[in-house]
Amino acid sequence: MKFKSTAISHPNIAFVKYWGKKDEDLRIPLNNSISMNLGNLWTKTTVEFNDFDEDVVIINKNVAEGTAKERVIKFIDRFRNQVNTTLKAKVVSENNFPMSSGIASSASGFAALTVASASALNLNLSEKELSILARLGSGSACRSIPDGFTEWLTGTCNDDSYSVSIANSEYFEIYDLIVMVKKEKKDVSSTTGMQKFNPYFYARLAEVNENLNFVRKSIIDRNLKTLGTYAEKDCISMHTVMMNSGLFYWEPETLKIMKEVWNLRKNGIECYFTIDAGPNVHVLCLHKDKEKVKERISELNFEILESKPGGKARVIKEDLF
């Protein structure tokens, strides 16, 4: 019997953000979050359990060592424990987007690793079980398991903190234009950053349910105006919390693009921004405005990565080794 399988998954962009945990080890978040899978970007991961001498992890053709390798092996151990095996693992993973681009490769990375590992060991897991396992690797990874637009339900314990699909990837054709401000790796990781608790977390929690309700409904109604308005509000709310922990992810160019988005809107071109734990700006728009937005931002000399909504994390036939 062959214990080998390959999966593909997409990173995601949150419209209502995850920032702060009520349980660090289990990665149980303080609030629900809502995101869209980015279909044009992917991670493919092949996992094989076999009679190897040692565990090997290769990411983007480089052999992983140190903490990066340890995080993957700790994750793989959960699967080994489930089936009571001591077989060693070979993990090979590739992204079609630069790891240093500020797009969370941990989300698509752990989602693909979850689906490939479960499939390699012939575990017949539900989407909910896969999402729970992915969350233990990296919180936002649980949102990359279901299809399209997904909501991570906070839950109270390991068994009820997972993501569900609000709408599939074909339901609402919106575009994320990722404006690259800086390609270097960020100084402070999200995991470390969100541990720096401060009083503004409470202020954010007081308004986040309203943002969730509007964003969830705007996806169902296919209403970019409401989605964008509340995504911008939620992004600024999260960055306020971050800044009060001494984490300034914005660069001058970040603000320049934010203002350009407002300017474009004033001129009748509908677009909205959101920003993750980094300086790059995600500009959301409909197909009809996409080329105009791209043209204007290219004039300001920024590189753009474009994506439409993506599907769920799934097994594919082409192995990477």
**Chain center to CA of 72:** 17
Residue with Cβ nearer ligand 2P0 (27 or 216): 27
Smallest distance from the beta carbon of 319 to ligand 2P0, in angstroms? 27
Q: CA–CA separation, 238 vs 19, rounded Å?
A: 7
Determine the 3-state secondary structure of 232 from DSSP: helix
Residue with Cβ nearer ligand 2P0 (12 or 169): 12
Give the burial string for 144-155 (b: 16+ CB within 10 Å, else e).
Answer: bbbbbbbbbbbb
Smallest distance from the beta carbon of 66 to ligand 2P0, in angstroms? 17
Q: Taking a C-beta distance cutoff of 8 angstroms, is the pair 282, 273 a contact?
A: yes
Residue with Cβ nearer ligand 2P0 (17 or 44): 17
Q: CA–CA separation, 24 vs 19, rounded Å?
A: 12
Q: Closest residue (Cβ) to ligand 2P0?
A: 139
Smallest distance from the beta carbon of 33 to ligand 2P0, in angstroms? 5
Q: CA–CA separation, 144 vs 163, rounded Å?
A: 8
- Which residues of the shown chain bind ligand 2P0 in the complex (CB under 6 A)? 14, 17-19, 27, 33, 104, 106, 138-140, 190-191, 276-277
Smallest distance from the beta carbon of 51 to ligand 2P0, in angstroms? 32
Smallest distance from the beta carbon of 52 to ligand 2P0, in angstroms? 27
Smallest distance from the beta carbon of 18 to ligand 2P0, in angstroms? 4
Smallest distance from the beta carbon of 215 to ligand 2P0, in angstroms? 12
Of 92, 91, 93, 98, residue with least CA distance to 41: 98
Residue with Cβ nearer ligand 2P0 (204 or 308): 204
Residue with Cβ nearer ligand 2P0 (140 or 237): 140
Residue with Cβ nearer ligand 2P0 (106 or 119): 106
Q: What angle do CA 189, 194, 198 make, to 5 degrees?
A: 140
Q: CA–CA separation, 297 vs 259, rounded Å?
A: 11
Who's near 218: CB < 8 A, 6+ residues apart? 224, 225, 226, 227, 230
Residue with Cβ nearer ligand 2P0 (208 or 264): 208
